[in-house]
């Protein structure tokens, strides 16, 4: 990826919207292009050394944490145009989570100093970042609420609706989710086991609320699933 490609990619990233065309040049100069294969660990929870910031150009990543009993939870799935790695640069603490490539990924990376220089030079970018961080906090608040209040059935349904909302394609009354997460991944999102997810999905299929195979999941009855 040469600098023109990097500039073109940056123009599509929401974080950099609203900049004047000439601003992309110095920003793209600081960016380093990186590729990660599916399942590759990009950022390690608790790491204090590698303070770098990433933007996703293609692919998908999972933000995960490990409990003391060794259970993995997926906190979020980030997609092209999303960023990660800002928290440890901003507060100087170790990495708050592990970030793993959920598919082959192309990323743009900034070292700590370049990241901080860019934030100071372009307040628009910093404000955009705060807006995204506020959205992430709201989403996490909602998730905590869901975990503590809902039955496991409700939590799995909620994860499906969230996926439909974030990456689904609406076709009439249906919502199509391409390349849905595996049962194991859905379990790590809903805070339950793979077996429970498989059981609940088969109930949802029988009720004609969803259809699902490896390549796609279709929400047939959003209203019923919501209840």
Smallest separation, CB 224 to ligand CMP (Å)? 29
Short-list 176, 194, 177, CA closest to 185: 194
Distance in angstroms (rounded) separating the CA atoms of residues 100 and 97? 10
Sole window of 95-103, 154-162, 174-182, 211-219 interacting with ligand CMP (rule: CB under 6 A): 95-103
- Residue 50 has a CB neighbour count (10 Å cut-off) of 14
Q: Check binding of 111 to ligand CMP (CB under 6 A).
A: no
Contacting residue, 95, 128, 155, 183, with ligand CMP by CB under 6 A: 95
Contacting residue, 10, 13, 15, 43, with ligand CMP by CB under 6 A: 43
Smallest separation, CB 87 to ligand CMP (Å)? 3
Short-list 80, 68, 78, CA closest to 99: 78
Nearer to ligand CMP, 85 or 181 (CB): 85
Any alpha helices (H) in 94-151, and if so which ranges? 112-121, 123-149
Distance in angstroms (rounded) separating the CA atoms of residues 31 and 47? 22
Q: Check binding of 86 to ligand CMP (CB under 6 A).
A: yes
Q: Check binding of 84 to ligand CMP (CB under 6 A).
A: yes
Structural element, H or E, at residue 44: none
Distance in angstroms (rounded) separating the CA atoms of residues 52 and 39? 19
Tokens found for residue 27 = 């920003």
Contacting residue, 99, 109, 200, 219, with ligand CMP by CB under 6 A: 99
Contacting residue, 10, 63, 102, 210, with ligand CMP by CB under 6 A: 63
Interface residues with ligand CMP (CB under 6 A)? 43, 63, 75-76, 84-88, 95-97, 99, 136, 140
């Amino acid at each position: 990826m040469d600098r023109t490609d990097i500039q073109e990619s940056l123009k599509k990233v929401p974080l950099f919207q609203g900049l004047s065309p000439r601003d992309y040049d110095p920003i793209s100069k600081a960016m380093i292009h990186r590729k990660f294969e599916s399942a590759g660990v990009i950022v390690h929870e608790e790491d204090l050394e590698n303070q770098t910031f990433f933007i996703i150009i293609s692919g998908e990543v999972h933000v995960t944490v490990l409990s003391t009993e060794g259970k993995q939870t997926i906190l979020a799935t980030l997609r092209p145009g999303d960023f990660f790695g800002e928290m440890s640069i901003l507060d100087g603490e170790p990495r708050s989570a592990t970030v793993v490539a959920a598919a082959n990924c192309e990323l743009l990376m900034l070292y700590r100093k370049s990241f901080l220089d860019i934030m100071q030079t372009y307040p628009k970018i910093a404000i955009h970042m705060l807006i995204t961080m506020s959205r992430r906090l709201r989403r996490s608040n909602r998730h905590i609420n869901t975990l503590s209040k809902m039955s496991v059935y409700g939590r799995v349904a909620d994860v499906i609706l969230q996926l439909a909302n974030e990456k689904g394609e609406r076709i009439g009354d249906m919502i199509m989710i391409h390349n849905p997460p595996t049962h194991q991944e859905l379990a790590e999102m809903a805070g339950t086991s793979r077996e429970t997810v498989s059981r609940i999905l088969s109930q949802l299929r029988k009720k004609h609320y969803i259809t699902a195979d490896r390549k796609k999941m279709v929400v047939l009855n959003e209203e019923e699933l919501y209840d």
